[in-house]
A and B are shown apart, each in its own frame.
Chain A
Amino acid sequence: MSDGVLLTGGAGVLFAVLAAVALASAIAVVVARSPVHSALFLLLSFVLVAAIFILQQAEFVGAVQMLVYAGGIMVLFLFVVMLVNPGVTRSEKSFQHQWDVAVVLLPIFLLPFLYILGTEKLPDVPVKAEAFRMVGTRVVGNTEAVSWVLFRDYLVPFEVASVFLLVAMIGAVVLGKRSLEKMD
């Protein structure tokens, strides 16, 4: 990416730091023993990703990431975790037999990916930040640019996604509703 997306100088350092901490906390999500700690690390990871979005001048996506993932979904996660209150996983016994499999499989899958992604020269698309924001001849703000793309170029997936969410809701209610179980 040539210009517009700031990855040099101070912004580059900031990106590196944010990305490193986001990755570290993502690993911590898996490693942490207490589910609440896992959820908190996931939250941290979400917030940092939002920060990375904002750093890349995608303010809208950053804010939505914050609002939806950090502010909405994670709250519900925590809600459920706290409600169930499973406590800290004390022994690793039940998970132990997966470790050896994972140790064998991980390099098999990871190394080719790393090799390909590392050696591949990504296409050098000469994009300026403004080019994303062109509507006709106007340069619009980030939010407006996103909405043009969403409601014009990707209207079909957007609308299908709304039906998708409806189905998710129906499914959750149908499968989760307790009173139905009394019927048989």
Chain B
Amino acid sequence: MTFAFHASDWLLLAPELFLTAMGLLLLGLSVALGKTKEDFLAFLATVSVGITGALVAFVATRPERATPILGGAFVVDNFALFFKALVLLSLALTVLASARYVGAAPYPGGEYYALLLFSGVGMLFMASGNNLISIYVALELMALSSYVLAGYFKAEPKSTEAALKYFILGAFSSGVLLYGLSLVYGAGGVMGLPELAKLLASASRSNLLMLGILLILAGLLFKIAAVPFHVWTPDVYEGSPTPVTAFFSVGPKVAAYAILARIFYVAFAKFHADWGFVVALVSAATMVLGNVAALLQSNVKRMLAYSSIANAGYALLGVLGFRTEWGLWGILIYLLAYTFMNFGAFTLIILLESKGYAGESVSDFNGLAKRSMPAAVVMLLFLLSLAGIPPTAGFIGKYYLFTAAMKAGYAWLAILAVVMSAVSLFYYFRIAAAMFFTEGSPAKLKSSYALSAVIAVCAVGTLVIGVVPQPFLEVLKSCVLGR
């Protein structure tokens, strides 16, 4: 297989290359500018994510993207473009939400934003990864940046604990993933996903292959925090700097879903019956455990961590339902909605925290409605959306996911999911009740432009997708694999 590089290959790589270059520039600038000019670094990081987004849009218009480039390792189909856009959205939100938080902390900002951008590079490559090894390396790039970011506030014991737990468990799960990849490679002898699919189409079911697929699944389930690979989540979410937690809850998860969907839809579609059973069990366990454990939490970050575990369970329904289009639509619309609503909820914690309040315990939300009615209303919106109440984005996402599960023949799972959504109302409304029906400190809330912008974007996103989902669905329906 010989091939030449074309100039257009580099064109298609433009977003990734640009983001990497900006990461390097930020590193260099942070040395030159120092701690006092960090706002500029945050601004620059936001702008570069924006330009990267524009480049993604530009790449979308190129006809060259029809075929995979660079030895078939890099594919720019609509599916990849959707995830790139989503990843960049979460990246931009994170940078904006971090500006004040990191600026006030005694840690250098340049490396922080650079690490965020590099993690973004990893996620962009994950979205486009079309062979096992490039997916793995991109995943590791994202993961390594995450480990460092989790421990970025290194004088805080909790942050260090989070980084250590995340790193050790993450490294272990990568080992599992890599072992699975090597077994699949050993069984087939090819790395590319389409080649693998072609090869497996004629292959019979073998134990070696099943073991490989199972291990790959386990490795990826760790990244999306599904039971029984979820134990790291509450500790890491609680310990990490809150903007980083917000980032973890959307960016890396979205990217992990991208590769989970791509690997299992494209390469292992034939053995659906085998892995489908496992995924169904995992999904059920994740929904039940996530929601029940969230009921018991008094720390909001931990509660949202369990809620995000539960959400991972819902999204797995989409992976199960891949045989109808509904599965893919469900994943895409749900992840889009999830990015807005979950990030919004976390941003409100940041808002509370940055005023000298811990913002982490449920009681910190006491009387928020008195202190700032808009903040309380917006938080309520996010919570409603997370619980899946219409007319919010969360409802549309869940509707598609549950329908996908029904159509794929997992009616019992869909019913369980509905029941669990009802359970989730209890803990979401604990926060709501705290905000509206209890007295709290009378101190006024102070926001920054960046934080207000993030909250506004998230709120508008959550509401608009919920009220007029049609245009979004039209776009999403063209985002199938390979086009």
Contacts and interface: CB of A to CB of B under 8 A. Distances in A.
Interface of A: 112-113, 115-117, 119-120, 122-123, 125, 135-136, 152-157, 160-161, 163-164, 166-168, 170-171, 174-175, 180-181, 183-184
A135 B1 CA distance: 9
A164 B125 CA distance: 12
Contact of B125 (A160, A175, A180): A160
Q: Which of A135, A136, A167 has the most CB of B within 10 A?
A: A167
Contact of B151 (A135, A154, A160, A175): A175
A167 B148 contact: yes
A156 B111 CA distance: 24
Given A155-B73, A166-B118, A170-B27, A122 B186 contact: yes
A10 to B, nearest CB: 27
Given A120-B208, A156-B134, A157-B137, A180 B148 contact: no
Contacts of B115: 167, 170-171, 174
A167 B122 CA distance: 11
B218 to A, nearest CB: 12
Mostly, the A contact residues are helix
A181 B154 contact: yes
Contacts of A174: 108, 111, 115, 148, 152
B423 interface: no
Contacts of A167: 115, 118-119, 141, 144-145, 148
Contacts of A117: 208
A110 B388 CA distance: 43
A161 B133 CA distance: 10
Given A116-B207, A156-B74, 15 more contacts: A113-B211, A116-B211, A122-B208, A135-B2, A152-B2, A153-B71, A156-B134, A157-B138, A160-B137, A161-B137, A163-B20, A163-B122, A167-B115, A170-B118, A183-B106
Nearest to B152: A174
A14 to B, nearest CB: 23
Contacts of A164: 122, 137, 140-141, 144
Contacts of A116: 207-208, 211
A180 B154 contact: yes
Contacts of A161: 137, 141
Contacts of A181: 154-155
A137 to B, nearest CB: 10
Contacts of A135: 2
A178 B119 CA distance: 24
A117 B148 CA distance: 37
Given A136-B2, A153-B1, A160 B141 contact: yes
Contacts of A119: 207
Nearest to B125: A160
B147 interface: yes
Interface string B100-135: 000000111001001100110110010001000110
A181 B155 CA distance: 7
Contacts of A115: 207
B148 A175 contact: yes
B480 interface: no
Contacts of B189: 123, 125
B295 to A, nearest CB: 30
Contacts of B168: none
Nearest to A116: B207
A87 B44 CA distance: 49
B133 A157 contact: yes
A163 to B, nearest CB: 6
B61 interface: no
Contacts of B107: 180, 183
B47 interface: no
B206 interface: yes
A183 B206 CA distance: 58
Nearest to B3: A152
Contacts of B140: 164
B60 interface: no
Contacts of B133: 154, 157
Contacts of A157: 73, 133-134, 136-138
B391 interface: no
Contacts of A155: 70-71, 73
Contact of B144 (A113, A122, A123, A171): A171
Closest 4 pairs between A and B when the two form their complex, measured CB to CB: A171-B148, A183-B106, A156-B73, A120-B208
B285 interface: no
Nearest to B151: A175
B148 A184 contact: no
Contacts of B118: 163, 166-167, 170
Nearest to A155: B70
Given A116-B211, A184-B155, A154 B71 contact: yes
Contacts of B194: none
Contacts of B74: 156
Given A152-B3, A156-B73, A184-B106, A170 B114 contact: yes
Contacts of A171: 115, 144-145, 147-148
B155 A163 contact: no
A119 B207 CA distance: 9
B188 interface: yes
B51 to A, nearest CB: 18
A66 to B, nearest CB: 22
Nearest to A183: B106
B210 to A, nearest CB: 8
B187 interface: yes
A120 B121 contact: no
Contacts of A180: 106-108, 154
A152 B119 CA distance: 24
Interface in B1-20: 1-3, 20
A154 B207 contact: no
A160 B122 contact: yes
B262 to A, nearest CB: 15
23 contacts: A116-B207, A120-B206, A123-B187, A123-B189, A136-B2, A152-B3, A154-B134, A155-B70, A155-B71, A155-B73, A156-B71, A156-B129, A156-B134, A156-B137, A157-B133, A160-B122, A160-B138, A160-B141, A164-B140, A170-B115, A170-B148, A171-B147, A180-B154
